[in-house]
């Protein structure tokens, strides 16, 4: 039998004659349990908030998107479309055009993005399923779908034929703009048939229109687009699809996945996640000072026993190992109990939604094995370091 482990277990489960040591040990164990529980709950809450934040972009952004490396647009030939259709892993794709233009309605003006989409767009993006009011636009018409924020800013309703909803885009070319808007801008009257609601940012950004109408407004050719949005099949290889698409367009386009399209958002969420983890790790480190104190007091309390063991031939390193193992075991048991309590809290919130953000929206939490492993590894590693510091108090000088 491992002698230091045997003694360490005896010290854990046996009470000291000094009641103060027993109290400090309970406080140290409680601190580990509460720290593990709190860290797991906070990480689970942040995972829920992360998933909730990304759900808006996931409803709007495609799995992959091809944009021109230079300029605002590129040409797609029929044979290139045929090659894209043959790529294994692509479920559907949509040709789109995005451009900032001027919208006017009832004396109000707004500069925002016009997004031209083809009939396949509904198969690539969930935007057509996020309608607050009305219906999705029909191909080859002047119908448009506006964001809820744009509708509010312009006081725009649906099927308002008394006040025209106009869009104006600068005519392509070089030189100064003419004082006459008719000479400098292409203009079209649009028919709002739907209002979408996804998130505050996206609701104030896009007006969806037919691809042909957008090409006509911007003086684009029929095969000229500003991007291709792609929906991939489950378990398909993104890297293979990206490589094949870039090869089809002879490396004149850059293909990004959903994470790269929202690089700033992902970077911000990752930074916040790391910051929260470090803050709560600091709290756990402070709590583990109680463990160091409890082990040092245990060393002093068991000084006579240690002397006896030393005189019987036990080496100093084995005596140190007793308290190293005792502290490590306390950290392991405390971490397991804290994780069990944290998992129960998270599962209760998921099932019964006890904590609410709004009357209709529960505080989002997500249970993941990754968070369990992170918390357990953090508690055990920090507990080991704390135990190592405390066990170093056992020395030959102390036993003399």
Both tokens of 311, joined, read 């005189």
Of residues 115 and 58, more confidence is placed in 115
Q: Is 206 in a helix, a strand, or coil?
A: strand
Q: pLDDT tier at 177 (50, 70, 90 boundaries)?
A: low
Is the pLDDT confidence value at 57 over 90? no
Q: pLDDT tier at 377 (50, 70, 90 boundaries)?
A: very high
Task: Give CA–CA dist 175/185, Å, rounded.
Answer: 13
CA angle 92/95/101 to nearest 5° reads: 145
- Give residue-wise pLDDT tens across range 203-258: 999 999 999 999 999 999 999 999 999 999 999 999 999 999 999 999 999 999 99
Position 220 scores a pLDDT of: 95
% pLDDT > 90, the chain:
70
Stretch 378-400: mean pLDDT, rounded?
90
CA angle 221/224/227 to nearest 5° reads: 155
State how far the alpha carbon of 48 is from the alpha carbons of 55, 244, 268, 308, 371, in Å: 10, 35, 15, 55, 12
Task: Give CA–CA dist 85/80, Å, rounded.
Answer: 9
Position 346 scores a pLDDT of: 96
Task: Give CA–CA dist 332/381, Å, rounded.
Answer: 10
**H or E stretch at 103:** strand 90-105
- Give residue-wise pLDDT tens across range 290-317: 899 989 888 888 888 888 888 888 899 9
- Other C-beta atoms closer than 10 Å to the C-beta of 50 total 18
Among 104, 197, 98, 199, residue whose Cα is nearest residue 153: 104
Stretch 348-369: mean pLDDT, rounded?
91
End-to-end CA distance of the chain: 28
Residue 127 near residue 196 (C-beta atoms within 8 A): yes
Task: Give CA–CA dist 65/259, Å, rounded.
Answer: 11
CA angle 51/57/63 to nearest 5° reads: 100
């Amino acid at each position: 039998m491992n002698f230091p482990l045997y003694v360490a277990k005896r010290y854990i489960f046996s009470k000291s004659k000094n009641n103060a040591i027993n109290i400090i040990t309970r406080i140290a164990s409680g601190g580990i349990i509460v720290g593990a529980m709190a860290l797991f709950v906070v990480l689970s809450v942040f995972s829920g908030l992360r998933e909730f934040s990304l759900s808006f972009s996931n409803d709007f952004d495609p799995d992959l998107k091809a944009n021109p490396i230079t300029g605002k647009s590129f040409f797609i030939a029929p044979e290139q479309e045929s090659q894209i259709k043959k790529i294994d892993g692509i479920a559907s794709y949509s040709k789109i055009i995005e451009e900032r233009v001027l919208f006017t309605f009832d004396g109000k003006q707004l500069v925002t993005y016009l997004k031209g989409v083809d009939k396949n767009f509904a198969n690539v993006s969930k935007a057509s399923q996020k309608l607050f009011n009305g219906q999705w636009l029909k191909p080859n018409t002047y119908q448009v779908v506006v964001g809820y924020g744009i509708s509010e800013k312009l006081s725009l309703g649906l099927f308002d034929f008394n006040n025209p909803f106009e869009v104006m885009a600068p005519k392509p070319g070089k030189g100064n703009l003419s004082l006459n808007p008719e000479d400098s801008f292409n203009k079209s009257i649009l028919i709002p048939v739907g209002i979408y609601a996804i998130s505050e940012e996206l609701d104030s950004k896009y007006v969806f229109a037919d691809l042909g109408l957008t090409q006509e407004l911007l003086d684009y050719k029929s095969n000229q687009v500003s991007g291709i949005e792609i929906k991939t099949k489950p378990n398909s290889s993104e890297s293979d699809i990206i490589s094949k698409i870039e090869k089809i367009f002879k490396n004149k386009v850059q293909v990004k996945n959903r994470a790269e399209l929202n690089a700033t958002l992902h970077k911000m969420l990752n930074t916040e996640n790391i910051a929260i983890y470090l803050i709560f790790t600091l709290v756990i480190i402070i709590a583990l000072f109680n463990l160091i104190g409890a082990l040092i007091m245990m060393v002093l309390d068991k000084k006579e026993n240690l002397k006896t063991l030393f005189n019987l031939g036990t080496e100093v390193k084995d005596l140190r190992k007793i308290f190293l193992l005792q502290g490590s075991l306390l950290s392991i048991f405390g971490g397991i109990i804290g994780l069990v309590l944290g998992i129960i809290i998270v599962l209760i919130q998921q099932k019964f939604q006890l904590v609410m953000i709004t009357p209709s929206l529960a505080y989002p939490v997500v249970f993941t094995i990754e968070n369990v492993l992170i918390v357990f590894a953090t508690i055990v590693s920090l507990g080991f370091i704390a135990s190592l510091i405390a066990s170093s108090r056992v020395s030959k000088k102390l036993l003399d």
